[in-house]
Structure 1
């Protein structure tokens, strides 16, 4: 009878533990499974659920002894071995972790897992190289602010430090077994905080049955975006996290509302619909228009990825873009931060690091993206994340490393690199058009896009009445500028910063802003308007396309790609040497040859009409008034032009809030 009662109790505990795990109440699952271990320390399944609960609640270091005993039918032993190796790495046991990764690489048939294990093993070897590099960072626990609870995700604005903490004594968040987190602020001068001013934000932002955290502010401090976990009382809630936005008008913050970039991912685990979407750790870029955040939405590279979105003039976000495989991995990337020098910092446990989350920086070197680990002491075998620079050489970050005051702590850091110089390069320009007299006049309300050498859209700018635009650019890179305005032909032109950089050694200031200049002149989109194509040359008495002419025709191809509504006549003209009939036939063959080339480059034939005019439409005199040869005039007459015949199917102008369709507007360019 006693055995039956014990068996019933054991089954009841196991059932409760399993349900707690499936609904994300990880601390409850840990506590219940540990009760099972009291009677059977080697219970493989209970050990597994404890280990997984620690991992999924960001405590993988504590999971290692339980992974060592984990197992059970229908459980993936290879995954258990992989996560055990990760937990050893998080505990700083690199030699033991390496052995586990090596063993997994040798035994598993799971190719993706084999690749991850091999990458982790290679990453551990990389640490020796990383530790050899000179590091100028000095870090210090911000003891005045930290408690035995969790303090993380610092954000500094207007001499106030905002941070997230579980220091409250309210209701317990059952996933982690500690109070729900709230957002606090404290007055500070740099890293000198006035602890007497620590204040929890009002209930407009904080909710006693939700986790709040990871706040970011626009540069003017008037817009706040922060993460908030949905209430368990809300249908489908409990696990998901969304971004919320509030605006300060007349010193009053508006009621936070969801940002229009949030996603929903549904799971039907155990028959209960649960929302597992995670959109969090937001960060405004210095331009105040670009938002970076982390998300586990579909279509990413695995775990959480970092995305960007653009805010339009009405405060809505669009053009959500994954930062790609150079930044994102099959593991987790989160907590992005963009410094004043436009460098993107983020936390990752997928790039080679010391264990847990490490801090990384994205650098641009000769047009390529390079990811660098910040090294020790910024990183440790624990979680290091949530960086914020209040000056180019100093700031805050978060870590749960040994030696802190409890859970996550906020640390300060200083970069004492004697050669540290911040050089910001900007490209300033003005959009123009020609008036009826051919004189330049400012063109307002034009959209200008900056593309990198591969054609990737880096940033958009809509000019005001002054026609001015401004982009952040980098040294030793090639770009394209695309100008677009209603009623005008989309124009694309190149720009390079090669040879325009400044030697940092010649600079005295810590922060240096270098502004480069350019202009874009857009032509009106008018039926019947003609444009001369420069440098289209042919061999004598020939009509085949020379390589130098192909370069110029490719520019026309790009114009037709960028302006899909245009149908054109491509015409060839000659001077007056030779007979009228000969010149007419030769010019027709040359026009047809050019059209054939353009068709081969992907332009539809029904958008092109070849026309040879011979010598019938001169734009200059072939001879001087005295009858002598006018070589300069004949040169002008030997030309290739395109004329707008029709303007059909004009695409709807791109509204600020609409997602930018790169396939439609920038496909196949050179």
Structure 2
């Protein structure tokens, strides 16, 4: 057979390109001899050309209808091409003939029914598989049917619930009959996305399979014009490649660095993806740089990056998807953190079993302003296929995952969740029915925009001022979010601002601590809770900073027993109502307590007595619970008088000496947050965690 034609289409969730061979005009499919047909089918499968293999295997199975191995192979290929209706038909054939011989056909039949929203029928088949599980050697399936039953119950419970979002399918300038993926929101009017941008069927010479130039996935841009997204063509810059697929990109928070994936076949004919980055200089982008080999593990896929921020160090984190060894299932989420001192990314770590399942995880998106990770998984309990989940945390420390519900999720594959700036909505990728279809109504992924059905917009608008109501600029802003389950504060924003005002978009249901610090002023910590807010609102607030006195502040009335460092009862009462309260109110300040004497007595004695008296104030405050790291003390003896100990005629000046016998304090610095150098090993807590979870993801 000298000439064949290829219809090139892609299911590119994880860089596995697939092809379909269609018969050229030289020879009809039915004219191919069985021996040649077998060779073409097996060779196509070997090359990973799923659509091509399906084309030939289906014909082969029609000629040999009693060959159940062939029937099972056709069913598998329909499953891999996401033609759920036809896969259900072919698996059902095997179920009706001999379920004990093909128990996995019963399991997969249930999965294909779930994918079409036939939850009651799917549950019956999962229960049927329960009786057949002993005929399956792979324990993976014995575990997964239980998850399947739980998913059916979950989906039936929420089947008639109101959608959590309104979904809008983008127009034909963006969604083509093949595949779209990985949307990136540049701003409210500009979008970057990936696409195999072909309008329909294109044909290629199969005899040149290894050398032919086939269509590639590339980056494209879209602009919002009159409230409608319109494609603007290919993304300009060094991104798209002539000989490789590109996609799955993420932008750094400042928009000046982009991480993305380049995918090519290796020597084993396996499509392998690796991470690259490029940086913006002026209006241009630098040539792509491949990340180091500890990240891009040779012969394993590393793809779908998402940027997060380490709440302890404020360093950049990159979450990504990989099939490398050491995972929990097929594709897992991993992360690598940036070492600021060495200016490199560290060896990646697995994100842990609180995220990763025995199935596949994909397309992470990290909302660092809410300390939350969104990701897709087919290993959790949900509506079917890949569902999108949300969890609070970072690295290996995560709270229980939450399914985003009906609307965002469907019975099909739902991927590539991203949020817009104000969190009112965003974009997803899905192969749900109703999109642009080529070979079956669920073959290919399209780009959808969504708006949350019950979105509450909470804006926090602040102006920083002094006590004279004058605006202050040049201050540091730290925003902390309280973990809703543990109360632990996590840093979500750290910024040096040069203006006097700032704006934050807050999420409903959380408590925030907003810390303002400026040189020469007491830091101010303002707490805002959104738990009781039930409608969109703009919160306006003036944050008042008090100036730190440059001179020491004298604590009046601090008396000691005669010739003693012991504080009197009246002195303790004064400390309780002044200095102690100040330290409670200004929880980060570090102060120095100083004690002074008059000139009666020897110099050395006075110095020693003043040290002891200053220390006694510190000890008293520590006993009341003040962190000793916030307290310093020093004795000056008679070396720093503020009044004369003698009158001009040389006589004693009791008034002056009483002024010199004083205790004062001065703010000398602010206490830095003592963040742990190492995170605790959350993996060791998995067993306890799983027992406590209501749903095991």
2:94 matches 1:66? no
Q: How does 1:532-611 map to 2 (within 5 A)?
A: none
Q: How far does the alpha carbon of each residue in 1:243-290 deviate from its partner, in whole angstroms, 9 at most, with x for none?
A: 221112122222223223766788xxxxxxxx4x22222222377822
Q: How far does the alpha carbon of each residue in 1:570-611 deviate from its partner, in whole angstroms, 9 at most, with x for none?
A: xxxxxxxxxxxxxxxxxxxxxxxxxxxxxxxxxxxxxxxxxx
Distance 2:387 2:509 in 1: 28
Q: How does 1:74-473 map to 2 (within 5 A)?
A: 77-109=102-134, 111-131=139-159, 133-144=161-172, 145-158=174-187, 159-168=189-198, 179-188=215-224, 192-195=228-231, 198-201=232-235, 204-230=238-264, 232=265, 234-236=266-268, 238-260=270-292, 275=299, 277-285=300-308, 289-313=316-340, 316-318=344-346, 320-339=348-367, 340-363=369-392, 369-390=399-420, 391-406=422-437, 407-417=444-454, 420-421=456-457
Residue 46 of structure 1 aligns to a residue whose secondary structure is helix
Out of 102-111 and 502-511, give the one that drifted further. 502-511
Q: TM-score, normalised by structure 1?
A: 0.59
Distance 2:51 2:509 in 1: 50
**Pairing partner for 2:75 from 37, 51, 54:** 51
Residue 124 of structure 1 deviates from its aligned partner by: 0.8
Distance 2:271 2:407 in 1: 33
Aligned length: 484
Residue 478 of structure 1 deviates from its aligned partner by: 13
> Which runs of 5 or more residues in structure 1 are unaligned?
1-5, 267-274, 425-449, 467-471, 480-495, 518-618, 622-629, 639-659
Distance 1:43 1:304 in 2: 33
Residue 101 of structure 1 deviates from its aligned partner by: 0.9
Distance 1:115 1:513 in 2: 54
Distance 2:618 2:427 in 1: 68
CA contact (8 A) 1:421 1:511 kept: no
CA contact (8 A) 2:511 2:531 kept: no
Q: 1:373 to 1:81 in 2, by over 3 A?
A: same
Distance 1:373 1:636 in 2: 49
2:593 paired residue number: none
2:13 paired residue number: none
Q: How far does the alpha carbon of each residue in 1:483-517 deviate from its partner, in whole angstroms, 9 at most, with x for none?
A: xxxxxxxxxxxxx99x97454428853799999x9
Q: TM-score, normalised by structure 2?
A: 0.57
Distance 2:89 2:389 in 1: 29
CA contact (8 A) 2:170 2:448 kept: yes
Distance 1:404 1:255 in 2: 35
Distance 2:282 2:230 in 1: 26
Q: 1:298 to 1:633 in 2, by over 3 A?
A: closer
Which is greater in Rg? Answer: 2
Out of 389-398 and 109-118, give the one that drifted further. 109-118
Q: 1:514 to 1:278 in 2, by over 3 A?
A: farther
Residue 206 of structure 1 deviates from its aligned partner by: 2.4
Q: How far does the alpha carbon of each residue in 1:133-169 deviate from its partner, in whole angstroms, 9 at most, with x for none?
A: 5544111111252222222221111442111111237
Residue 505 of structure 1 aligns to a residue whose secondary structure is coil
Q: 1:288 to 1:50 in 2, by over 3 A?
A: farther
Residue 82 of structure 1 deviates from its aligned partner by: 2.3
Residue 336 of structure 1 aligns to a residue whose secondary structure is strand
Residue 16 of structure 1 deviates from its aligned partner by: 4.0
Residue 125 of structure 1 deviates from its aligned partner by: 0.5
Distance 2:538 2:61 in 1: 58
Residue 475 of structure 1 deviates from its aligned partner by: 8.4
Distance 2:34 2:617 in 1: 100
Distance 1:41 1:184 in 2: 45
Q: How far does the alpha carbon of each residue in 1:429-468 deviate from its partner, in whole angstroms, 9 at most, with x for none?
A: xxxxxxxxxxxxxxxxxxxxx999999998899999x9xx
Residue 411 of structure 2 aligns to a residue whose secondary structure is coil
Q: 1:402 to 1:462 in 2, by over 3 A?
A: closer
CA contact (8 A) 1:171 1:179 kept: no
Distance 2:221 2:622 in 1: 72
Distance 1:336 1:66 in 2: 34
Q: 1:66 to 1:389 in 2, by over 3 A?
A: same
